[in-house]
Chains A and B, each alone.
Chain A
Amino acid sequence: GAVVSQHPSWVICKSGTSVKIECRSLDFQATTMFWYRQFPKQSLMLMATSNEGSKATYEQGVEKDKFLINHASLTLSTLTVTSAHPEDSSFYICSASRVSGGAYNEQFFGPGTRLTVL
């Protein structure tokens, strides 16, 4: 159990276009979903936290108007990169958390989406 999917797994787009990435928890209801980005050979940087039915909470330095997050249900969150530019090229990874029977929310990661903006 605890499978998280992402779609698409990779996308190439032209500068100025918008790209939507979907994150789904397939066999559990996620209390919270998270969006990370990772540059080559670097760590995962948390971009935002989203809870179903409420606005996402963005980390400092992340433009909320550029990275639109919608959390429509307990199993689906979407990240839209608006007016993408080459510097937005990165590996975007979502994770979904569920209560793990203690003071800890276990996180399960999706397979990631590699975005290349030309």
Chain B
Amino acid sequence: GQSLEQPSEVTAVEGAIVQINCTYQTSGFYGLSWYQQHDGGAPTFLSYNGLDGLEETGRFSSFLSRSDSYGYLLLQELQMKDSASYFCAVAYNFNKFYFGSGTKLNVKP
């Protein structure tokens, strides 16, 4: 089976940097994705790591270490609009994902 652990809630101030960690256990592994979800909305894709290392997309970066079964999402220059839930999701099959329980990020002024 699959299991994912990520913090339930993180609080940071505008302009700061925050890191959301995700550790996983899975019977198959193709990659780790990160999604953002605002209250009442659908998840939107942020990033995907299939190989070890850092992927950077603007203010967001994601890191993966397959040997440690660990990844993180790094958000820089936090803005109020970044307040949302962030889910890591492991691709345990070619096209199937198992989602973590989500981390609620609160950005304060």
Convert B11-48 into 0s and 1s, putting 1 for each residue whose CB lies closer than 8 angstroms to a CB of A: 00000000000000000001101010000011111001
Mostly, the B contact residues are strand
Q: Nearest-CB distance from A1 to chain B (Å)? A: 13
> Are the C-beta atoms of A104 and B96 separated by less than 8 Å?
no
How many A-B Cβ pairs are below 8 Å? 52
Residue of B41, B45, B98, B102 near A107 (CB, 8 A) is B45
B87 / chain A contacts, CB cutoff of 8 Å: 43-44
Given A43-B101, A103-B50, do A108 and B45 touch, yes or no (CB 8 Å)?
A: yes
Count the A residues whose beta carbon is within 8 Å of the partner chain — how many? Answer: 22
B33 / chain A contacts, CB cutoff of 8 Å: 107
Given A104-B31, A109-B42, A111-B42, do A32 and B101 touch, yes or no (CB 8 Å)?
A: no
- Rounded to whole angstroms, the CA-CA distance of A55 and B95 in the bound complex is 16
- Rounded to whole angstroms, the CA-CA distance of A32 and B95 in the bound complex is 8
> Are the C-beta atoms of A107 and B97 separated by less than 8 Å?
yes
B residues 74-96 with Cβ under 8 Å of A? Answer: 87, 91, 94-96
Query: Is A31 in the interface zone, CB < 8 Å from B?
Result: yes
B95 / chain A contacts, CB cutoff of 8 Å: 31-32, 49, 97, 105, 107
A43 / chain B contacts, CB cutoff of 8 Å: 87, 99-102
Q: Nearest-CB distance from B85 to chain A (Å)? A: 8
B48 / chain A contacts, CB cutoff of 8 Å: 104, 106
- Rounded to whole angstroms, the CA-CA distance of A6 and B21 in the bound complex is 31
Residue numbers of A with Cβ under 8 A of B are 31-32, 34, 42-46, 49, 93, 97, 102-112
Residue numbers of B with Cβ under 8 A of A are 30-31, 33, 35, 41-45, 48, 50, 87, 91, 94-102
- Beyond A104-B91, A109-B44, 13 extra complex contacts between A and B, CB < 8 Å: A43-B87, A43-B102, A44-B87, A44-B99, A46-B96, A46-B97, A46-B99, A93-B42, A104-B50, A107-B45, A109-B42, A111-B42, A112-B42
For the complex of A and B, list the 5 residue pairs with the smallest distance between their C-beta atoms, beginning with the closest: A105-B95, A44-B99, A109-B42, A112-B42, A43-B99
